[in-house]
Amino acid sequence: MISLPAEALESAVARVFPEVQAHHVPLGRSTSEELLWRELVACILGSQVRYESCLTALRHLGSHGLLNVPLSIKSPFLLERLIEQGLKYCSCKVSPPCPQYRFPRLRANHLRRTIENIYLQGNTLRRVLASADSEIQARDLLTAYAVGLGPKQASLFLRNTGFADNLAILDRHVLNYMAILGLLRKPISHIRSVAEYEEVEARLQDYALTFSISVGVLDTAIWVVMRVASEY
């Protein structure tokens, strides 16, 4: 529960802008296919999962050679089983400890079907994204090809890889901040549709204009402040 008034939160967010800008991923689109695939896997695994659990799962799959770019796979169903087993038995050694990865079978299935949609069709992530004429279209394409990826995780992928800068990552911290600041008609705990996502995103984009910064800098600063504020 956040007890700070709206003005204090807004001021704290503004003070974080310089630090966020210093570490912000610039638009460049020079990321290799290997890193694009790894980032996409991370975003698929990260949906509805604690960050530390997702990171542990990603490292575990990487250490077992299950994050190689699947340009040529003879048995995608075997890979699916190996990923499922890897997700079942990876352990998260953080404090406080996080539980076992929540969706091993579901996410392994999502990854196998994503491989089939992209690589087994003779395509690559780079070519898919290069065909987009806008950030919104890139997100739409990504969610069409990547199974289990919604607009929030797709926006995260595009931001982390330098393909977008003005798409919002509307997690619970950002939604809570927007509710406190009166940027929403009513509080939202989760977004139910792409249309609703785009409506809320547009409100955050308009708010970003008042600071003359990108949404990428704004929602990252909000996330930092709200995560710290929620601990007090």
Asked if 152 is an active-site residue, the reply is: yes
Asked if 219 is an active-site residue, the reply is: no
- For the beta carbon of residue 24, count every other beta carbon within 10 angstroms: 16
Exposure b/e, 183-218, CB count within 10 A at least 16 = b: bbeeebeebeeeeebbebbeebbebbeeeebbbbbb
Start-to-end Cα distance in the chain: 8
Rounded distance between C-alpha atoms, residue 171 and residue 23, angstroms: 20
Q: Of 74, 140, 165, 171, which one is the catalytic site residue? A: 171
In the chain, count H helices and then E strands.
11, 0
Rounded distance between C-alpha atoms, residue 3 and residue 15, angstroms: 19
Q: Of 140, 152, 165, 186, which one is the catalytic site residue? A: 152
Going from the C-alpha of 9 to that of each of 96, 210, 213, 217, the distances in angstroms are 27, 16, 17, 16
CA dihedral 44, 174, 159, 22 (to 10 degrees): -130
**Residues identified as active-site:** 152, 171
